[in-house]
Structure 1
């Protein structure tokens, strides 16, 4: 992952995430960047995303495929537009 001089993610870089280890990968990124759970958001759609949800203050089940994902998330969004999660991630909809 790439960050700018202010420590913000630029969108560059590639992170290969083992399917069942998303939570551990988020934890590692948090430790590397100094970003804590309170400043972390996670978006997912299946039960394999639940471990990632546990490492985030805001967890969003986006068009969830199962009830386990819905129950684990702090928010559920059903939309054709991924941008609809932004207010939740930015605190405007929390």
Structure 2
């Protein structure tokens, strides 16, 4: 059983925890970066169903070598202030989670390096050292993100009133709605409109002032 915590902070990964969209980095390997970037933007604005969009974007990765994961990781830029925020959460007895529509194959390296306590993401199916163009298992969509936040809160004995959800895209809205405080960060217009608070500066250290002391 995980140790109790005073509060829980859950972040999206792409364009929140990190400045990149990992699927676009992987799509660059297939020469389809611009096409996938446009599809990602539409999904984040909420114009298309996230799961349907993700499957079509992953299909564009068919045949990409699994070596691309290391190259993608090398290009990732942590968001300014992320290490300061995570350190502050830990200093005050909180837990940091990341739940992502992106991929475990990258997050499994990035998350522990940044000090994240728990994380969940999609997995990419592979065969003979290359991506098959399929998602392996269920897709982490908006509903899964909200359920994950609630599950982590229960695991650590944190009431939902003491949970924070930070995200930028439409698939973050459900977890922002169930959290005690939903923060739009580097966010699309629909997310800014529905968030409890909007963080305008692209600096996660801005969140520290909102944490319990």
Pick the aligned partner of 1:11 from 109, 116, 133: 116
Number of aligned residue pairs: 87
1:18-33 aligned at under 5 Å gives the runs 18-20=140-142, 21-33=144-156
Q: Where does structure 2 lack aligned partners over 5 or more consecutive residues? A: 6-93, 96-114, 123-139
Pick the aligned partner of 1:56 from 165, 169, 179: 179
Compared CA separation, residues 42 and 80, structure 1 to 2 (3 A): same
Q: Distance in 1 between matches of 2:183 and 2:196?
A: 6
Pick the aligned partner of 2:206 from 61, 84, 87: 84
User: Which TM-score applies when normalising by structure 1?
Assistant: 0.75
Q: Where does structure 1 lack aligned partners over 5 or more consecutive residues? A: none
Q: Which runs of 4+ in 1 moved over 6 A?
A: none
Coordinate RMSD, CA, aligned: 2.3
1:52 aligned counterpart, secondary structure: helix
Compared CA separation, residues 83 and 28, structure 1 to 2 (3 A): same
Deviation at 1:16, TM superposition (A): 2.6
Q: Which has the higher contact order (CA 8 A, sep 6+)?
A: 2
Q: Which has the larger radius of gyration?
A: 2
Q: Distance in 2 between matches of 1:74 and 1:81?
A: 18
Deviation at 1:6, TM superposition (A): 5.7
